[in-house]
Amino acid sequence: MTYFSGLLIALCFGVFILYTAMKAIRLRHGEERQFQVRVGLLFVAFVALVVVFQRWFAARSGSVVWAQTITSNILGDLVTIGGLILFIQSHRALGRNWSSEVVVREKHELIEKGPYAYIRHPLYSGLLLMFLGMALYCGRKACIVVFVYCFFGFYFKSQMEERLLAKTFPAYSEYKRRTKALIPFIW
């Protein structure tokens, strides 16, 4: 079960990488497409190191915080799959408004459909769920540190986005009032 869970989580991250790379390639602007592909390739290299050398990484990724069990493996799988689904649905809802940078595009619109009806930053929520699933599966300090690092990184980036969107869209303050930032109905 441990090996299967590791492969399933790796597969989810692989699907995330391929989906993001394909979406980036479809962007109209050549410069931005090259930037997106470079960022995607860097992320691919990082995930490949983590996934391909999973046992090597596990042996050197800090002490065990909790032991791997069937329960932690299944929970890690479900959380990672849920995060991937949320990420893809969010990407689809954004359409051409998506960018890895904090920018407002030409003909940019405020998206309030799909996951955006409940969460202002569901892309980040999906990625956080994927990293949480990996941490649940691994149960090691390094994976937990990666999750916490991503959480704070996404939080600060979301704050930058919110300031820009509030300046751009007068309706953003009402949207912000009725939705949560990263966790539906909670925060």
pLDDT one-digit tens code per residue, 8-53: 888 888 888 878 877 777 665 554 445 555 555 555 555 555 555 5
Distance in angstroms (rounded) separating the CA atoms of residues 173 and 38: 34
CATH code at 2-178: 1.20.120.1630
pLDDT one-digit tens code per residue, 148-181: 988 998 888 889 889 988 888 888 889 999 898 8
On whether the pTM is more than 0.85, the answer is no
Confidence of residue 95 (pLDDT cuts 50, 70, 90): confident
Distance in angstroms (rounded) separating the CA atoms of residues 137 and 71: 9
Residue 44 is predicted with a pLDDT of 56
Q: What is the 3-state secondary structure (H, E, C) of 67-130?
A: CCCHHHHHHHHHHHHHHHHHHHHHHHHHHHHCCCCCCCCCCCCCCCCHHHHCECCHHHHHHHHH
Distance in angstroms (rounded) separating the CA atoms of residues 134 and 167: 36
Q: Is 177 exposed, middle or buried (0-12, 13-18, 19+ CB in 10 A)?
A: exposed
